[in-house]
């Protein structure tokens, strides 16, 4: 199995729902995002997926979140936009684009700071 990972980022504001503390207040992050896909086989060029395509499609999904107030977006109207829930949302959105017989989204990491990361994977 081949694994490919890209790093990208987005900035957005949110406030956590049902949280007792400062993060219940409106605040923002410059989130770093890592997306890992797994490919069973390589194509004729020796690639599992072109990094350009992986990054382009990931950024297309992130554009829906970038410089937005996440609590107002449909995926998070009734769900706290925590890093954990953002990771799951991105995993599902990218799975709809990339999951094939040969390629699967394996894991999405969402870093809300240099020291704090949440991950979502299928297992």
Q: What is the CATH number of the domain that holds 57?
A: 3.30.479.10
What pLDDT, on the 0 to 100 scale, is given for residue 122?
A: 86
Q: Which residues span the domain enclosing 21?
A: 2-121
Q: How many domains does the chain have?
A: 1
Q: Which of 80, 87, 77 is nearest to 31 (CA)?
A: 87
DSSP state of 24: G
Spatial separation of the C-alpha atoms in residues 95 and 19, rounded to whole Å: 29
**Average pLDDT in the chain:** 97
Tokens 């017989």: give the residue: 101
Nearest to 10 by CA among 122, 92, 110: 110
The token duo for 65 is 């979140």
pLDDT at 123 over 90: no
Per-residue confidence (pLDDT) for residue 44, from 0 to 100: 96
Q: Which pTM does this prediction carry?
A: 0.95
Q: How far apart are CA 105 and CA 121, in angstroms?
A: 8
């Amino acid at each position: 199995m081949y694994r490919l990972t890209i790093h990208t980022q987005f900035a957005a504001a949110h406030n956590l729902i049902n949280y007792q503390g400062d993060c219940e207040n409106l605040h923002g992050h410059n989130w770093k995002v890592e997306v890992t896909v797994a490919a069973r086989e390589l194509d004729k060029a020796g690639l599992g997926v072109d990094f350009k395509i992986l990054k382009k499609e990931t950024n297309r999904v992130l554009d829906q979140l970038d410089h937005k107030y996440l609590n107002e977006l449909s995926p998070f109207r009734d769900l706290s936009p925590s890093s954990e829930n953002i990771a799951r949302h991105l995993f599902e959105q990218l799975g709809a684009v990339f999951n094939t017989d040969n390629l699967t989204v394996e894991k999405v990491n969402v870093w809300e700071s240099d020291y704090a990361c949440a991950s979502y994977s299928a297992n």
